Structure 1
Amino acid sequence: MEKIPVLRLGNFLLVSIQVELHDELALSLQDDLAAQITAHKAKGVLIDISALEIVDSFIGRILGHIAAMSKIMDAATVLVGMRPAVAITLVELGMPLTGISTALNIDKGMALLRSRVGDAGDPSSSA
């Protein structure tokens, strides 16, 4: 089965979705992230969706569930790289992704995570 890689950067997890996200893969990602947040005691999750041209209502709900699940597990979530067409579609579907922080790109997203949880995601801060 296809999997989306989850990379650990200090106390943060980085997910860069580079394939078309179908329902089964989205559910698998949700489960994988829950396990990785627990295993690594992650304080933040950054999800890059810049490669996605389409996000339907199911995928939008899963992204919302991932953010809610992360929050319960004491990890902040930032969604980055959302294309304008995707943002418009989600709003038109009545899914503004309330409660999910967004940023234009990975750099800005990492800065937002660091500002929310301190420098916990910076590997050099644990030295």
Structure 2
Amino acid sequence: MDRIPILQMGRALLITIQVDMHDQLALALEEDLTAKIASSGARGVLIDISSLEIVDSFIGRMLDNIAAVSKLMDAETVVVGMRPAVAITLVELGLSLSGVRTALNVDRGMAIIQQRLHDYEITDGG
């Protein structure tokens, strides 16, 4: 089965979804990401969905689940590159992605994560 690569950049993880997501791939990503957060101690997760043209309710719930699991593991999730049609579909499906921060592009998403890492270092004592 194919897997979506998870790249580590310091205390952040970067996921770029370049293929159409199907249910098994989404479940594998959720499992892989959880393991990677645990093994790396990452405090930020950036998911680039700019290549996704369609998001169904399962993929929307998977993004929400990833954010919830990441938060429980003390990592913030930022989704970037959401197309207008995807945003409309999520709203029509009633999925608010309450635990997910969003940004227009990777640069802005990484800025959110870098701020989170900075805040974490201050409160954690470095």
| Alignment length (residue pairs) | 121
Unaligned runs of 5+ in 2: 121-126
1:48 deviates by 0.3
Query: Does the CA contact (< 8 Å) of 2:11 and 2:117 recur in 1?
Result: no
Q: What is aligned with 1:99?
A: 99
1:119 deviates by 7.8
- Partner AA of 1:13 in structure 2: L
Find the residue that maps to 2:8 and give its secondary structure: strand
Separation (CA, whole Å) in 2 of partners of 1:31 and 1:37: 10
- TM-score calculated relative to the size of structure 1: 0.92
Separation (CA, whole Å) in 1 of partners of 2:17 and 2:40: 20
1:1-127 superposed matches below 5 A: 1-118=1-118
Unaligned runs of 5+ in 1: 121-127
Separation (CA, whole Å) in 1 of partners of 2:39 and 2:116: 21
Identity %: 63
- Partner AA of 1:3 in structure 2: R
Q: Which runs of 4+ in 1 moved over 4 A?
A: none
